[in-house]
Amino acid sequence: MNIDPRTDTLWKTYLVYFLVLLFGIALIVKIILVQTKDSEELKKLAQQKELRVRTLEASRGNIYSSDGQLMATSIPQYDVFFDYKAVDSTLLANKIDSLCIQMSELFPKRTPAQWKAFFAEGMVKKNRHYKIGLNISLAEYNKMQQFVIFNQGLYKGGLIAEKKIRRERPFKELAGLMLGMANEEQGYFFGIEGAYNEYLRGVNGHQLVRRIHHGDWMPVNSEDDVEAQNGDDVITTFDIKLQDIVENALNHTLTENKAEQGCAILMDVETGYVKAMANLRLNHETGKYEESYNVAMAERYEPGSVFKIASMVVLFNHKEDTKLTDLVNIGTGPIKFSNRVMKDDHSFAKGGICTVQEVIEQSSNKGTAVLITKAFAAHPEKYVDGLYALGLNKKIGTGIKGEAQPVIKHPNDKTKDGRKLWSNVSLPWMSIGYEVNVTPMQLIMLYNAIANGGRLMKPQFVTEIRRGSQTVEKYDPICLNEHIASPESIKKLQTMLEGVAIRGTAKRQFAGCVVNVAGKTGTAQYYDRVQGYAYHEPGIGRKLYNTTFVGYFPAEQPRYSCIVMVSRARGRFWAAGGVSAPGFREIAEKVYAMRIGTQDDDSIKVAPRIASEPVIVRHDKETAFLKSIAKDYNDFAINGEWVTVEQNESGETKIKEARLQSGRVPNVIGMDISDAVYLLENMGIKTNFVGQGTVKEQSLHPGDTVRANSIIHLTLEKK
């Protein structure tokens, strides 16, 4: 069949016209839909690309010592990357040499040639996230933003920075274990950082911002904006100088005695506040002692003879008419309790007779066991109930993670399969510190109660939570038991403990000590999980021991209680008198020389201050404070991180953006110490300081050039 060519052409033309008509109709329909039905949705989509909500990160609160020293603060750091695709290839080729010279001046670990080779590696693949450096300081990052190529901005210069916060400790490892760590992403919390994380962390805010030219974002004044609530500051009970004394003394003690681990705690007698605490364990790879384990609170152990004072408290409460001069018949040889023999290492009792006071002074195992079994053999549960009344069977509840559960068995206790835990020798051996497991912190709490007249004070590590200058929470001293014993019994116990250092087992160690000490020695065999008490250290040929000296000073007017516990000493000495007592003496003498007789003032001022001269304040941290002192303060009008606060002659407070010169020493007079450290460290200036409160003097003159390894010395004052 033949088709007329004209007809075929006509049909094709009609088909094209028809398709064009359909396309036109569809286009008109779409325009109508866009202007009507889809208009709101598209407006929202456009707005989403133009507007976004920016998170305002809260600054973590600071941690202070009781004397106002900054123990932990937060400083920003940056991980910096380079986006090659964002940079014009001609610009990159023409300016890369100049960039490498600038990078070498800022980071001299690479020469310009090495920097060029470094950048060339990423250039080959046109890497969009090429790592330049990690943990870059704020000062370094600010300088990098001014370099050629980078100064074109994020979308043309290719410089990408990911901000993170570094927790800085001005005193480095001092009290590091107790300061601890908080990592919310990993769910890792310990120490004060972990226990008080809810206060320290703050609350992030959010802010509506609009995209402007060059891809930058500008804040939009929105009613939905929420300011970040910066973390609260935590004021601890620690005294930095005392902490330094305690840590050094413990390290010296462990090193001298080649010990495995140990702890030392210094506590204020009246309040129970822990003024210093050190925990050290031997790192067998490095041969050095490190704060890797909380021995003071997580290590429960058989304390040995220091537990005898707990037995005496229970005895005196049971038989208040017991006198220190009462005679005790301990015999001249070993004593057998049921099927087990007990002996003393001392032959002090003439004819096998000694006084109650000598039982403690000379640390008589037999004397203690005889007194306790005679009083409680018929009803051993009364002895155990007496220990429970002292709180020795339960956790203290300090809030610090990792506190061990003590173990003091009761005559009625049984194993899971129904066997009795109590034996015929449990009572005498518990009385001398075996078959019980307690922590060093519980022991010092008991001795502290004897020192302050019978009040059992709860150990605490924090005195206050502050938000600026306002107190959020205050932790007053907590008394767990007003009277662990009668005043007459407490006096007997004090006399016994004083006698230990004068006539007893620690006489030689405290002869000539500059401060009178009261306390008790304790030496207990180390119990190995496999070999038990029969364990002998390979290469030494003898058993190992846990040694403790715990007490207080000055004996006549107690101010501090202290415990030094040493585990598995492998040196010349093995008993507490030769191992732990010298460490206690070192602490007591140095603390006495530094603190006793002086009036400590633990109050500190950590809020920003307004002075007649302009004071620099971190405006992103103190927004609420700045609004409270200046009605015309506008956060959105300030682009910089720092502002100056000054008062004119009429008393009006004026807030202006601070003009800080790169490479020049700023004026930090009047600044809060945490802000001063934050500012100076990020300008590349190392800091150290003395005193507490705000900066009174600075060693480097404002305007001086910041040189490599610059160190500034700050003097602080309270206001």
Provide the residue count of the chain.
719
Q: Is there a contact between 669 and 613 (Cβ–Cβ < 8 Å)?
A: yes
Residue 668 has pLDDT above 90, yes or no: no
DSSP readout, 73-132?
EEEEEEEEEE-GGGS-HHHHHHHHHHHHHHHHHHSTTS-HHHHHHHHHHHHHHT-SSEEE
Across the range 266-282, mean pLDDT stands at 97
- Both 155 and 63 in a single domain? yes
Query: Which H or E run includes 679?
Result: helix 673-681
31-40, 272-281, 667-676: which range is least confident on average?
31-40
Across the range 555-561, mean pLDDT stands at 95
Q: Is there a contact between 269 and 560 (Cβ–Cβ < 8 Å)?
A: yes
pLDDT at res. 163: 76
Residue with tokens 């609260």: 232
Bridge partners (DSSP) of residue 75 are 166
Q: Choose from 52-56, 114-118, 632-636, 677-681 the range with maximum mean pLDDT.
A: 114-118
- Both 220 and 253 in a single domain? no
Phi, psi values for residue 472, rounded to 5° = -90, -45
pLDDT digits (tens, 9 = 90+) for 221-269: 667 777 778 889 999 999 999 999 999 999 999 999 999 999 999 999 9
Q: Is there a contact between 551 and 561 (Cβ–Cβ < 8 Å)?
A: yes
Query: Taking Cα atoms as reference points, which of 624, 580, 512 lies closest to residue 227?
Result: 624
Q: Exposed, middle or buried, 156 (CB in 10 Å: 0-12/13-18/19+)?
A: middle
Kindly report the pTM of this predicted structure: 0.75
Q: In what order do the strands lie in the sheet with 615-618?
A: 615-618, 642-647, 653-657
pLDDT digits (tens, 9 = 90+) for 467-490: 887 899 999 999 999 999 999 999
- Both 400 and 339 in a single domain? yes
Query: Taking Cα atoms as reference points, which of 12, 73, 16 lies closest to residue 618?
Result: 73
The CATH number linked to 290 is 3.40.710.10
Give the C-alpha distances (Å, rounded to integers) separating 135 from 46, 599, 683: 36, 43, 14
pLDDT at res. 601: 42
The CATH number linked to 167 is 3.90.1310.10
Instruction: Give the 3-state secondary structure of residue 318.
Output: helix
Residue 432 has pLDDT above 90, yes or no: yes
Q: Looking at 564, 594, 624, which one is the last position of a domain?
A: 594
- Both 60 and 76 in a single domain? yes
Phi, psi values for residue 675, rounded to 5° = -70, -40
- Both 110 and 14 in a single domain? no
Do the domain assignments include residue 251?
yes
Do the domain assignments include residue 46?
no
* Cα torsion 588, 459, 234, 404: sign: positive
Residue 608 has pLDDT above 60, yes or no: no
pLDDT at res. 620: 61
Interatomic CA distance for residues 85 and 491, integer angstroms? 82
- Both 633 and 531 in a single domain? no
- pLDDT band, very low/low/confident/very high, at 19 (cuts 50, 70, 90): confident
pLDDT at res. 434: 96
Query: Which H or E run includes 386?
Result: helix 380-389
82-86, 245-249, 517-521: which range is least confident on average?
82-86
369 φψ region: left (φ > 0), alpha (ψ -120 to 50), beta (else): alpha
Interatomic CA distance for residues 653 and 610, integer angstroms? 9
Do the domain assignments include residue 609?
no
Across the range 553-564, mean pLDDT stands at 96
- Both 536 and 582 in a single domain? yes
Bridge partners (DSSP) of residue 462 are 236
Do the domain assignments include residue 126?
yes
Higher model confidence: residue 395 or residue 40?
395
Do the domain assignments include residue 604?
no
Do the domain assignments include residue 601?
no
Query: For the chain, what is the mean pLDDT?
Result: 85
Query: Taking Cα atoms as reference points, which of 396, 413, 414 lies closest to residue 405?
Result: 396
- Both 134 and 61 in a single domain? yes
Question: In this structure, which amino acid lies at residue 5?
Answer: P
Interatomic CA distance for residues 40 and 585, integer angstroms? 80
Radius of gyration of the chain (CA): 36
- pLDDT band, very low/low/confident/very high, at 651 (cuts 50, 70, 90): low
Do the domain assignments include residue 487?
yes
Q: Is there a contact between 201 and 59 (Cβ–Cβ < 8 Å)?
A: no
Q: Which two tokens stand for residue 103?
A: 């990078």
287 φψ region: left (φ > 0), alpha (ψ -120 to 50), beta (else): left
- pLDDT band, very low/low/confident/very high, at 219 (cuts 50, 70, 90): low
Bridge partners (DSSP) of residue 319 are none
Q: Looking at 236, 265, 283, which one is the last position of a domain?
A: 236
Higher model confidence: residue 583 or residue 654?
583
Q: Looking at 236, 256, 288, which one is the last position of a domain?
A: 236
Do the domain assignments include residue 49?
no
Q: Is there a contact between 674 and 615 (Cβ–Cβ < 8 Å)?
A: no
Residue 152 has pLDDT above 60, yes or no: yes
- pLDDT band, very low/low/confident/very high, at 605 (cuts 50, 70, 90): very low
- Both 260 and 280 in a single domain? yes
Question: In this structure, which amino acid lies at residue 77?
Answer: Q
CA atoms within 13 A on the CB side of 257: 31
* Cα torsion 167, 170, 172, 177: sign: negative
Q: Choose from 15-19, 94-98, 604-608, 631-635 the range with maximum mean pLDDT.
A: 94-98
Parent domain of 583: 240-594
- Both 269 and 139 in a single domain? no
- Both 498 and 582 in a single domain? yes
pLDDT at res. 606: 38
Across the range 361-372, mean pLDDT stands at 96
Residue 604 has pLDDT above 50, yes or no: no
Q: Exposed, middle or buried, 518 (CB in 10 Å: 0-12/13-18/19+)?
A: buried
Q: Which two tokens stand for residue 266?
A: 């210094």
pLDDT at res. 474: 95
Higher model confidence: residue 469 or residue 133?
133
Q: Is there a contact between 343 and 366 (Cβ–Cβ < 8 Å)?
A: yes
Q: Is there a contact between 165 and 74 (Cβ–Cβ < 8 Å)?
A: yes
- Both 197 and 130 in a single domain? yes
Across the range 441-445, mean pLDDT stands at 98
Question: In this structure, which amino acid lies at residue 627?
Answer: K
- pLDDT band, very low/low/confident/very high, at 599 (cuts 50, 70, 90): very low
Give the C-alpha distances (Å, rounded to integers) separating 516 from 453, 521, 551, 553: 17, 16, 11, 6
* Count: domains in the chain: 4
The CATH number linked to 648 is 3.30.10.20
Higher model confidence: residue 82 or residue 168?
82
